Structure 1
Amino acid sequence: MNQPSRLTLLLSALILSHAAGAATPDEQAAALFAPYAKAGAPGCAVAAWRDGKPLFEQGYGAASLEHEVAIDARRTVFDLASTSKQFTAAAILLLAQDGKLKLDDDIRRYLPQLPDYGTPITIDHLLHHTSGLRDYLALLNLSGVDDGDVSTSADALAAIARQQGLNFQPGSAYTYSNTGYFLLAQIVEKVSGQSLAAFSKARIFEPLGMADTSILDDHAKVVPHRATAYRPDGPAGFALLMSNWEQTGDGAVQSTVADLAKWDANFYQPKVGGAWLVEQLQAAGKLNDGTPLHYARGLMVDQYRGLDIVAHGGAFAGYRSELIRLPKLKLGVAVLCNRPDAAPARLARQVADIYAAGEFPAAAAAAEPVPVALADPARYAGVYWNAREGMLRRVDAQDGKLWYAAPGMKQELLPVAEGRFVRDPQRMAQPAVFTERTLVVERPGEPPARFERVSAGAMTPAQLAGVAGSYHSDELNADFTLRLKDGKLWMTVPRFGQQPLDNVFADAFGAAGIVLRLERDRAGKVTGMVAYLGRANGMKLVRRG
């Protein structure tokens, strides 16, 4: 006779609990992770703590499908991806505290191989994502480097040094950039004489007793108890989704939910860096014109249900992570997962809701949005373009509803007034507002994104033939070929084969998150293209034939 599964036992316990009365907080938290409580699937580890005392700590699913090893909340190590950035920021601040660098130093003082763009880029620009530097992950990917390839710090530095322009003037705007934090790791190495991994171990991890935490800067190094990352493959299967990139600073911290609780405790009783470090990590940035940001130094500072929240998430290869803190309640939650379809940011906040039930300000309980009828939903449909951030969005009208679409994402726009919509009914802070020719979209933790409505592309086959040809980019160190096939343009991308190009608007083509805008001479002949990838924009592709 088969033994009942862990999930069956959990659901049975919840049913009995509800029959006897309300479920306990631990039972409610466990129910959130029930979908991941399967021995034959990757999952998540979760921990919640308050005032230094553990509230809930559990692992769900498999750390290794090959070896049938379950996730252990205290021992299983995950790649934190971008949640790592707070540790890089802490390392820089410790060096500033030591008097070995200043936050307003020009980064070329330490990294002279970087181009001079005419305006100094400071260490603080890197910390606050206001440098304008193009994201090296996008640069390497477009030049043909896959996440599974071995990629080194030297590769990333070379890609960054090839760039002839910026996304924007330093300090004038905010765009999340992995380049900035990668370069911070290089500065730590230049100033301290140690790798970021060695410096962080000596100055942060060991003093806090984070024995299971390290920074992985060698893809061949064995990390004890590390969870393998997977992606869904077929109806019930999984395939490996790991990375062999060796860059640090923007990611690469390996840790457990138990160790993250020790790091969180440093924000209340700082053993590392003192009160100054805690204050500086959480000091929000601002633009040159004084516009405040929600991004501090390696941390996002915002509001959640009427309370201050400090948080950061991460996503790389098949790993997903989230670490949040509600300072007023001294409540922290960490969720680490080894599958890309998990949603740790949502799960972490739901766990916080459970253990802080009744303690959020009453005024923060927002009413559910009430949809209104639209006279003509199709009037908002169309193509919208944000040139500064290199982002293309579509708004589609289907069956009386509006849908907001970007590469890999589609959300319903819920109308709450004529011209005003909510992208996520659970977060009223994310409205989308239409005017005559623009769409302004609120984003959590970032300034709003402003899109201009553009006319849909309609190039004839003869015109498309005039675009076909070979192109080279010095900035990407790569060649690209465009061919006309069956009335459609196809682009050969290094290592990744042919990609179909859609004529998304006049003289612009899009494919898998890339937008290419044509450049012409006075006679109208196509001489090149400019590539936009969102976090890396303005790369030149010059026509060679």
Structure 2
Amino acid sequence: MYSGLLPAVIGTLLPAMPVSAQQPTLTAAQISRIDSLFSRYSAADVPGCALAVSRHDTVVLERGWGSANLEHTVSITPATIFEAGSVSKQFTAAAALILAQQGKLSLDDDVRKYLPELPVYDAPITIRHLIRHTSGLRDWGAVMSIAGWPRGTRTYTQAHVLDIVARQKALNYPVGAEYLYSNSNYNLLAMIVERVSGKTLAEFTRAELFEPLAMKSTSWRDDYQRIVPGRAHAYSGGGKTWRLQMPFENVYGNSSLLTTVGDLLKWNANLGHERVGGAEFVAMQQMTGKARNGSGSTYAAGLHVDKFQGTTVIFHDGATAGYRAFLARYPDAGHAVALLCNAGDANPVALREGVASIVLPPYTAPTRTPVDTIGVAVAAPRLQGLAGYYRNPMSREPLQLVVSGGQLLANGRKLVALTPGHFTSVTGRTHVVFDDGKRGARSSIRLATMDADMAYADTMEFLPIDSPRGEASYSDYIGKFFSEEADATVSVVRDGKGLALFARPNRRSPMVPIYADGFSTLEWYMEFTRGKDGKVDGFLLTSGRARNVRFDKGK
């Protein structure tokens, strides 16, 4: 819980962020380069983006490209309202931090204190776990995708989300063990804010965040049928073929903030002037933490704190339906960038980095030691001893090592031996380390993937597993299976010489064997389980942010 300080929230509305009336800090050449970056969205018959850039919290550029409504050819302006996707998460987290600062909850409270509907797991999930995506909770959208109803196909509500999460008997991983992004965390966080404050999330954030910062165009899409004047419609597709893709659902906290680029810069400026919440609140927003396996080291309270071109960046991106968003602050350089788009093909990360590269001071990448693409010689018996099938015990993700031309390949990609037990990809970003304590037999693997700056790594463990069973065993897998967790029934059926996963009414996914009792489809990993009698009794299905969802075989 916070110390006894109360939030230092100003009592009067702030004026709009000033637009520089003096010599602009962006040159004509810089502005021209930014316009070129968004040129594909400059026509009146395509969706587009709005952009705002500030320096030392003074707006130095506001732009709009493309159409807010293709049916009525309404142009996008900096005042156009968009949905901010997961940029919204920082506002939900901020609401929880304000309540903690007011002494109404502790970030270390068990979430079941406020949401008793949730199951009891092996260890308590705290509010802090929700904020940092280390709870282990499955992403409810991924679970419903398994059930055949992905987001966008049904009108989901917060009540649906709670019901889905409450029937998950297992977690993706032990509480606190890993970082894995899950929207469920922030939907539940919004529910906690509402139950503790006695107000809706919209009411609480309006009073505590939006009004004090004069964010007059910001609200929540907690009723998708509500009319929002000035809102851009969202689209998917590209070129001359665009289709309406709006978020027709009433879930929020994870996303659903309706706002403008100008309002986002007002919010972003609070990281500097600290008028809402004070210094303690702003520090808590940016406090990162690691899971036990070291992952998630850049994630704070709905914000990433990382490096870009050698300078600190505090940011989050977002995507909901056809909306795309990015909000970033570069405190060392004094710049901030807010980007909102209604074109589903827009890449907000690439666009933000493009803008940042133009407005930030010139950057020269440090000289790196060349990656060793030759390595040391490893005896052929040693290489052959390492080859085989492996899988991650948490995600069921496969890894196959083979020897070809005297080289070890991981899923078809060449590895370079740094030592007989340590290999790297030719780029140097992926490291494969074998457990030297088990020489003479295939051992477990630690696979580490470095970030773009080679600054830190996410590490996964892979364990040896037998090769896929032959076609003669396929009859073991055929049958009907039901999942209480996904509330779904599927069938495994013959598909020519192979197998397919069939779900009503007409979804049929070919199954590719990847290791013993393990298969993959275009979307999922499946691992069949066997009872004491050796017969198949079900399978565990992993779909990205929902791992090992249980399906039991019908009698």
TM bracket (short chain): 0.7 to 0.9
1:537 is aligned to 547
1:440 aligns with 2:448: yes
Out of 480, 490, 494, the residue aligned to residue 470 of structure 1 is: 480
Q: How far off is 1:438 after superposition?
A: 5.3
Out of 519, 522, 529, the residue aligned to residue 519 of structure 1 is: 529
Q: Deviations over 1:281-314 (max 9, x none)?
A: 0011233588872111111111222221111111
1:248 is aligned to 252
- Equivalents in 1 of 2:388, 2:268: separation in Å? 45
- Segment of structure 1 superposing worse, 296-305 or 452-461: 452-461
Out of 107, 111, 116, the residue aligned to residue 112 of structure 1 is: 116
Partners of 1:293 and 1:447 within 8 A in 2: no
Partners of 1:478 and 1:494 within 8 A in 2: no
Change (3 A) 1:272 1:157: same
Change (3 A) 1:154 1:401: farther
Q: How far off is 1:397 after superposition?
A: 11
- Equivalents in 2 of 1:398, 1:242: separation in Å? 49
Identity level (%): 37
- Equivalents in 1 of 2:415, 2:294: separation in Å? 33
- Segment of structure 1 superposing worse, 186-195 or 28-37: 28-37
**Equivalent residues in 2 for 1:186-201, closer than 5 Å:** 186-201=191-206
1:16 is aligned to none
1:204 is aligned to 209
Partners of 1:434 and 1:440 within 8 A in 2: yes
2:156 is aligned to 151
1:266 aligns with 2:274: no
**How does the TM-score come out when normalised to structure 1?**
0.84
- Equivalents in 1 of 2:33, 2:461: separation in Å? 41
Q: Deviations over 1:260-295 (max 9, x none)?
A: 111111111122111121111001123358887211
Q: Please tell me the root mean square deviation across aligned C-alpha atoms, in Å.
A: 3.3
Q: Deviations over 1:442-486 (max 9, x none)?
A: 357985142537679644433222201100111111111111121
Tell me which amino acid in the other structure corresponds to 1:238: W
SS at structure 2 position matched to 1:245: coil
Q: How far off is 1:255 after superposition?
A: 1.2
Q: Which runs of 5+ in 1 are unaligned?
A: 1-21, 406-410, 424-429
- Equivalents in 2 of 1:109, 1:132: separation in Å? 18
- Segment of structure 1 superposing worse, 349-358 or 159-168: 349-358
Tell me which amino acid in the other structure corresponds to 1:312: H
- Equivalents in 2 of 1:78, 1:43: separation in Å? 11
SS at structure 2 position matched to 1:219: coil
Partners of 1:468 and 1:482 within 8 A in 2: yes
- Equivalents in 2 of 1:310, 1:93: separation in Å? 18
Q: How far off is 1:521 after superposition?
A: 2.1
Change (3 A) 1:287 1:29: same
Partners of 1:390 and 1:535 within 8 A in 2: no
Change (3 A) 1:447 1:108: farther
Q: Deviations over 1:196-238 (max 9, x none)?
A: 12211221112211111111111211222222222226x6311
Out of 330, 340, 344, the residue aligned to residue 326 of structure 1 is: 330
- Equivalents in 1 of 2:70, 2:280: separation in Å? 44
1:296 aligns with 2:311: no
Tell me which amino acid in the other structure corresponds to 1:434: V
SS at structure 2 position matched to 1:163: coil
1:484 aligns with 2:482: no
Partners of 1:45 and 1:335 within 8 A in 2: yes
Q: Deviations over 1:351-410 (max 9, x none)?
A: 12211223x5x5x5455967846999x9999876433244456899999999998xxxxx
- Segment of structure 1 superposing worse, 258-267 or 522-531: 522-531
1:45 aligns with 2:55: no
**Equivalent residues in 2 for 1:168-187, closer than 5 Å:** 168-187=173-192
- Segment of structure 1 superposing worse, 37-46 or 282-291: 282-291
2:290 is aligned to 286
Q: How far off is 1:47 after superposition?
A: 1.5
- Equivalents in 2 of 1:214, 1:251: separation in Å? 12
- Equivalents in 2 of 1:142, 1:77: separation in Å? 33
- Equivalents in 2 of 1:261, 1:414: separation in Å? 45
- Equivalents in 1 of 2:193, 2:31: separation in Å? 42
- Equivalents in 1 of 2:217, 2:408: separation in Å? 47
**How does the TM-score come out when normalised to structure 2?**
0.83
Change (3 A) 1:326 1:416: farther
- Equivalents in 2 of 1:318, 1:398: separation in Å? 44
**Equivalent residues in 2 for 1:112-511, closer than 5 Å:** 112-148=116-152, 149-232=154-237, 236-287=240-291, 293-358=297-362, 360=363, 364-366=365-367, 372=373, 385-392=391-398, 419-421=423-425, 431-435=429-433, 439-443=447-451, 448-450=458-460, 452=462, 458-493=468-503, 497-511=507-521
Partners of 1:438 and 1:450 within 8 A in 2: yes
- Equivalents in 2 of 1:231, 1:525: separation in Å? 46
